[in-house]
Every structure is written in structure tokens, then in C-alpha cells.
Amino acid sequence: MNTTRRNFLKGVSAGVVCLSLGQLGFDLKEAQAFAGTIKIEGAKEVISVCPFCSVSCQVIAYVRDGKLVSTEGDPDFPVNEGALCAKGASLFSLYSSSEHRLLKPLYRAPYSDKWEEKDWEWTLNQIARKIKTVRDKELILKNGKGQTVNRLENFFMMGTSHASNEECAVIHQAMRGLGVVHMDHQARV
């Protein structure tokens, strides 16, 4: 049998727990019944890749009855050896819905202490209007030597870790198109 690091770890940890608790005289029936209810029980392991950065950590996706039930780092993959950073560790939350997830934009007017629910059309129009107003006013066309620069220095773009490499590439191009020169990304931190 080809023993992977993952199977070896599973076997060792189960063996150690059963041996030590059993030897101490604990009744293991309850623990074994609980183990039958864990969320990956009976799930199929599907190897996948975290999409958030080019490290490309390998992930085990647990699928049961055609539904994703959990994700975790793959201990057999040499790049990440089972570890995932905060973004990779939150991969499952991309798929699952949570009562804490916002489904509509919230807007707080200047000096207000309340958030108002807005629809996407209103929100995107607001953002586009503000970007255009600032850019029209602040775009620097030429530098001190008279060279064309088309530079917007009072914008800052901060990328989110929940954007994939491809989304980041598109956002980057859009920002450069506006003349934005100050950009960073949370995934770098």
C-alpha cells in the first residue's frame, strides 16, 4: 500500500488518541460516535489549488453528495505541506453562505451614524461619479520637464486577498488606465 504523509498522520493521530485514552480507562464509544458525525465523514477527497496567489498551495476539497463540505491544506504537497495562509484557510467561506456575509451594498452618508442599504446600480454610479470628478480635477498631464505623464497621484488602490490573480490583473490594468500610480495588495503583506 502506498502510504502518503496524510494517511500516515491520520493513522498515527487516531492510534495515539485511542491508545492513550483507552489505556487510561475511558469509554471510547461516545468519542467514536462523535467521530462519525464530523463534517468530512464519508466525503470524497478532491485535490485542488488555492486561487489567491501564484504560490498555488494545494488544497484538499472534501465533497459529499456532490457538495463541498470542507477544505484544508494538502500535507502531501511539497510547496505548502498542509499549511495555508489566512486567505487559503478561508477558501471554504467563498463557497458557503454565512449569515454574516453582506449581500447588498451598505452606504453611510457623510456625518451620518447609520448604514443604508443600496442597490448595486446606485452604488456603482456613485463610485463612478466620484472617480470621474476627482480624476477630471486632479489628473497630472505633464511633469516639470514638460513630459506627458497622465498621472493620478491622489488615488490609492488596495487589492483584496479575495481577488484571484486574474481579477487582480484586470483591476491593475483598469487602474493604470486611469493613471493611478499608487497601488498595493493585501496578499503581499
Min separation Cβ 183 and ligand SF4, Å: 18
Residue with cell 505541506: 81
Residue closer to ligand SF4 by CB (options 69, 91) is 91
**How many residues line the site for ligand SF4 (CB under 6 A)?**
11
For residue 163, state whether it binds ligand SF4 (rule: CB under 6 A). no
Which position among 60, 72, 87, 175 is part of the footprint of ligand SF4 (CB under 6 A)? Answer: 87
Which residues fall within 8 angstroms of residue 35, CB to CB, at 6 or more apart?
41
For residue 168, state whether it binds ligand SF4 (rule: CB under 6 A). no
Q: Are strands 148-151 and 58-64 parallel, antiparallel or unpaired?
A: unpaired
Of 97, 94, 73, give the one whose Cα is nearest residue 85. Answer: 73
For residue 85, state whether it binds ligand SF4 (rule: CB under 6 A). yes
Which position among 5, 40, 56, 70 is part of the footprint of ligand SF4 (CB under 6 A)? Answer: 56
For residue 88, state whether it binds ligand SF4 (rule: CB under 6 A). yes
Strand (E) or helix (H) holding 67: strand 67-73
Min separation Cβ 34 and ligand SF4, Å: 29
Residue 4 gets which letter from DSSP? -
Residue closer to ligand SF4 by CB (options 90, 123) is 90
Of 158, 160, 153, 159, give the one whose Cα is nearest residue 180. Answer: 153
Question: Which of these ranges, 18-26, 50-58, 63-71, 125-133, lies near ligand SF4 under the rule CB under 6 A?
Answer: 50-58
For residue 84, state whether it binds ligand SF4 (rule: CB under 6 A). yes
Which residues fall within 8 angstroms of residue 166, CB to CB, at 6 or more apart?
none
Min separation Cβ 83 and ligand SF4, Å: 8
CA distance 38 to 141: 61
Residue closer to ligand SF4 by CB (options 19, 55) is 55
Length of the chain: 189
Min separation Cβ 159 and ligand SF4, Å: 12
CA distance 88 to 51: 8
Cell of 66: 456532490
Which residues form the interface with ligand SF4 (CB under 6 A)? 50, 52-53, 55-57, 80, 84-85, 87-88
